């Protein structure tokens, strides 16, 4: 049995997916409810109030309808934006490879080759960082001239 993966195994590790932007439904619903409450407040304040009922009770009663209508409009807008976003989706390939330690590494590509995995040493900076104390050699004495 060979240790090299076969073409069938490579094909099993590749999956075709579609990438798209989706709206955040809770945000649309909350903002819609808030706008519905604001519109209800403005409409309630713009008409005369029955002194027997009072402004607070009248606003609370109409807010039930205004907030509900705002939530529905926000949800419908989110559905509309979701539908428009699905039209602009683009295909991509997800490649799953097993690393040396057995953990899966996932790459998402849009038709090009997957990026090569970099060793841990290559991810660390090789530039020398200046000492935190402001001196050139890190001794802590600013009177010392910098060494070349």
Q: Strand 14-19 relative to strand 90-98: parallel, antiparallel, unpaired?
A: antiparallel
Nearest 10 degrees: Cα torsion 25, 31, 32, 35: 180
In terms of domains, do 66 and 96 share one? no
Please write the tens of the pLDDT for every residue from 22-62.
Answer: 889 999 999 999 999 999 999 999 999 999 999 999 999 99
Is 146 within a domain?
Answer: no
Tens digit of each residue's pLDDT (9 = 90 or more) over 55-104: 999 999 999 999 999 999 999 999 999 988 888 888 888 877 776 676 66
Structure tokens at 25: 């439904």
Q: Which of 148, 110, 30 is nearest to 78 (CA)?
A: 30
**Bridge partners of residue 104, in order along the sequence:** 98
**Number of domains observed in the structure of the chain:** 2
Looking at the structure, tell me whether residues 46 and 98 fall in a common domain.
no
- Check if the beta carbon of residue 95 is closer than 8 Å to that of residue 110: no
50: in domain: yes
The residue segments making up the domain with residue 61 are 21-88
| Alpha-carbon distances of 13 from 5, 24, 62, 94, rounded to whole Å | 11, 30, 56, 8
The pTM of the full predicted model, rounded to 2 decimals, is: 0.55
């Amino acid at each position: 049995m060979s240790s090299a993966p076969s073409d069938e195994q490579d094909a099993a590790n590749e999956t075709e997916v579609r990438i798209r932007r989706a709206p955040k439904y809770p945000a649309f619903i909350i903002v819609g409810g808030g706008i519905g409450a604001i519109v209800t407040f403005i409409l309630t304040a713009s008409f005369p109030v029955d002194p027997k009922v009072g402004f607070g009770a009248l606003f609370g009663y109409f807010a039930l309808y205004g907030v509900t209508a705002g939530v529905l409009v926000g949800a419908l807008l989110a559905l509309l934006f979701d539908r428009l976003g699905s039209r602009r989706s683009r295909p991509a390939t997800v490649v799953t490879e097993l690393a040396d330690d057995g953990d899966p590494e996932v790459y998402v590509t849009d038709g090009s080759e997957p990026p090569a995995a970099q060793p841990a040493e290559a991810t660390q900076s090789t530039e020398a960082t200046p000492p935190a104390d402001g001196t050139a050699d890190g001794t802590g004495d600013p009177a010392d001239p910098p060494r070349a």
